[in-house]
Amino acid sequence: MEPDFDRIIDKSGTYALKEYKYRKSECLPMWVADMDFACPPEVLEAVRQRAEHPILGYTVAKELDEIIAERMAEFYGWQIDPDWIVYTAGVVSGLNCSCRAAENRSRAAVNTPIYPPFLSVPPFQGMNLEKSRLTLNASRWEIDFDNLRQTLSGGDSLFIFCNPHNPSGRCFKRSELERIAQICLETGALLCSDEIHCDLLLGESGHTPIASIGREIEQNSITLMSPSKTFNIAGMMTGFAVIPNRKIRQRFAYAKENLSSHPNVFGIKAAKAAYQHGESWRKALLEYLTQNRNLVTERLSKYGIVPAEPEATYLYWLDCTKTGLENPHAHFERYGVGLSDGKDFDAPGWVRLNFASPRSILNLALERIEKALNNQSL
């Protein structure tokens, strides 16, 4: 059966985080990064089947090893040894473990604007945070390579990279990844690449894991991935790291043991079903999301708040700094749309729209956003 992404699903009683924030208002929740779509039926069935077994104790995720290794080879041409995989309770916990694994490094650098935990995790793990801003060139977000090199120089940095990038939706090209890898190797920075959005590619975009581009960078990297965003199973708390270098992997695994960051018993089954049986669902999803993205572009471009279209993710990064609005986030909420506030991403005056909703809901949200931009009476 074809997935029905137009279906509006009532989440009441599920304590969904996205809705919970606006439970006392009429605001449409278009903020936190999960989708309003039912996950693939095979995933739901796998979870149901697991629940039939009466024991739900600690579980190892070994049954995913070969599936992940095969996926890396098939999707990205990256040959990995299953022994390189370390499972985590999601990717943010992998970010924490990466900081811990970056022993003797006192600094962590990130490209801002950025998904908020990139700003908070390094200081939480006792590291100094350094920022290298992305620049906007001809409607494309780009790395300022000179600035990045300067930021990482000194040999005691961890570079936490995000590709595809949240919130800009940028999907970096191989030539850009090669330059980043080169900079990390030259400066002695350890690379942690969060690639959680790697399978959410819009239009013609393609993904290359940065660690896959050469042996040297592979040995100097931690790659964080998860099926959670793509298959809408973020509540399953299941992610993994691919760490080719044995010493880095041991340090990461040690951190993970101490942070008790193990994947969830249902998450393992959900991930397995998603990777093994979710491909036609994913393809249909990407078509739907690409159309949603195009709709947002079409409706909002005329307001001058669309500096660049996302190439991946279901997140649209909107520049409201020239609208004259003092607090765009609060303004849109007054008009009934709950977006993510750019100030949490180190970009006050910007907002992030999650467009992974049934088209009728997205249309309603866009109507409200347009009303808000026109300052029409409420």
Ligand X SMILES: Cc1ncc(COP(=O)(O)O)c(C=O)c1O
Residues contributing to the site for ligand X (CB under 6 A):
33, 90-92, 115, 162, 166, 194, 196, 226, 228, 234, 239
In whole angstroms, how close is the CB of 162 to ligand X at the nearest point?
5
- Is the Cβ of residue 198 or residue 372 nearer to ligand X in the bound state? 198
In whole angstroms, how close is the CB of 299 to ligand X at the nearest point?
24
- Is the Cβ of residue 90 or residue 328 nearer to ligand X in the bound state? 90
Contact 116, 93 (CB under 8 A): no
295: enclosing H helix or E strand: helix 279-300
- Is the Cβ of residue 233 or residue 248 nearer to ligand X in the bound state? 233
In whole angstroms, how close is the CB of 378 to ligand X at the nearest point?
31
- Is the Cβ of residue 241 or residue 372 nearer to ligand X in the bound state? 241
CB contact set of 251 (below 8 Å; sequence gap of 6+): 100, 101, 103
In whole angstroms, how close is the CB of 86 to ligand X at the nearest point?
14
In whole angstroms, how close is the CB of 341 to ligand X at the nearest point?
15
- Is the Cβ of residue 234 or residue 337 nearer to ligand X in the bound state? 234
Q: What are phi and psi of 72, to 5 degrees?
A: -60, -40
CA 359 – CA 295 distance, rounded (Å): 9
- Is the Cβ of residue 239 or residue 358 nearer to ligand X in the bound state? 239
**CA 296 vs CA 46, 67, 343, 347: distances in Å:** 35, 35, 22, 21
Q: What is the CA radius of gyration of the chain?
A: 20
Q: Which residue is nearest to ligand X (CB)?
A: 90
DSSP per-residue string spanning 323-375: TT-S-HHHHHHHTTEE-EEGGGGT-TTEEEEE--S-HHHHHHHHHHHHHHHTT
In whole angstroms, how close is the CB of 194 to ligand X at the nearest point?
5
Contact 93, 144 (CB under 8 A): no
Residue with tokens 């089947």: 49
Per-residue tokens: 93:
């916990």
Per-residue tokens: 100:
């811990």
In whole angstroms, how close is the CB of 377 to ligand X at the nearest point?
35
- Is the Cβ of residue 196 or residue 300 nearer to ligand X in the bound state? 196
